């Protein structure tokens, strides 16, 4: 792997910034000052500003298409917990939650440093869902969902209006919604408030990571580009949104 890509894959910086560090002589490979275009292997020792760099190979980033019924917890005594379901040979944990009754994309990792950055609500980063409800969708429903719905927030022990969001009708009983909040069971509670019941809820995107054609119950490792872009987004001062 090229050195700039290796550095970027650890989440330290972008490839362009890595090239600048290399040009400035701040990067060493096996105790030798590196140059642009250097290739590295998993056995090489890479230092940036005198600090040993942990390679991506020590971290795991997984995208799972979670089925309904699987619980997003690391507590192994809980039936149908996500850790036993994935059965990965190393200890991993989910980044955030997806309700037991919901399905779709959830990320798992053994990189504790990334979790809080992904979950910080102040980043306003997008999560996209496809939702099916129990009766025909009206224009009034779409308008109210997109403008915000007053629901109870148990964390603050108060009622609050959800943030404005993008809602697009798919058919008479299904819609897409893009949230920048992460309130507990938010979509279900918004729908309930408007006298609708969620029949099926599937998350199809988290920031730059898309569920795509990944089958239900299957998982895959994130690509190098996905990891690099994910770190770029969570390290940015401004939210990075697709739509």
Active-site residue list: 99
Which DSSP state fits 2? Answer: B
**Spatial contact of 183 and 199, defined as CB atoms under 8 Å apart:** no
Rounded to the nearest 10 degrees, how much is the dihedral formed by the CA atoms of 198, 202, 207, 213?
A: -160
User: To which residue do tokens 């939650």 refer?
Assistant: 97
Q: How far apart (Å, rounded) are the C-alpha atoms in residues 4 and 213? A: 30
Provide CB contacts within 8 A for 111, sequence distance 6+: 59, 60, 61
Helix 112-119 to helix 224-235 angle (10° resolution) is 60
User: To which residue do tokens 């895959």 refer?
Assistant: 220
Q: How far apart (Å, rounded) are the C-alpha atoms in residues 58 and 222? A: 14
């Amino acid at each position: 792997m090229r050195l700039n890509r290796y550095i970027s894959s650890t989440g330290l910086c972008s490839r362009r910034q890595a090239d600048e560090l290399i040009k400035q002589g701040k990067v060493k490979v096996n105790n030798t000052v590196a140059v642009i275009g250097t290739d590295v292997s998993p056995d090489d020792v890479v230092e940036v500003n005198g600090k040993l760099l942990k390679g991506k190979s020590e971290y795991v980033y997984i995208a799972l298409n979670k089925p309904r019924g699987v619980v997003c917890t690391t507590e192994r005594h809980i039936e149908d917990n996500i850790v036993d379901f994935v059965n990965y040979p190393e200890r991993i944990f989910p980044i955030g939650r997806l309700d037991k009754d919901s399905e779709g994309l959830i990320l798992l990792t053994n990189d504790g440093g990334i979790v809080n950055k992904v979950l910080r609500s102040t980043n306003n980063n997008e999560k996209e869902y496809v939702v099916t409800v129990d009766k025909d969708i009206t224009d009034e429903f779409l308008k109210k969902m997109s403008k915000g719905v007053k629901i109870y927030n148990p964390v603050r022990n108060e009622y609050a209006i959800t943030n404005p969001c993008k809602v697009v009708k798919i058919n008479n009983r299904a819609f897409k919604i893009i949230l920048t909040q992460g309130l507990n069971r938010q979509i279900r509670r918004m729908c309930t408030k408007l006298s609708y019941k969620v029949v099926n809820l599937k998350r199809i995107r988290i920031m730059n990571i898309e569920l795509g054609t990944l089958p239900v119950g299957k998982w895959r490792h994130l690509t190098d580009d996905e990891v690099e872009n994910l770190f770029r987004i969570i390290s940015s001062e401004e939210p990075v949104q697709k739509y």
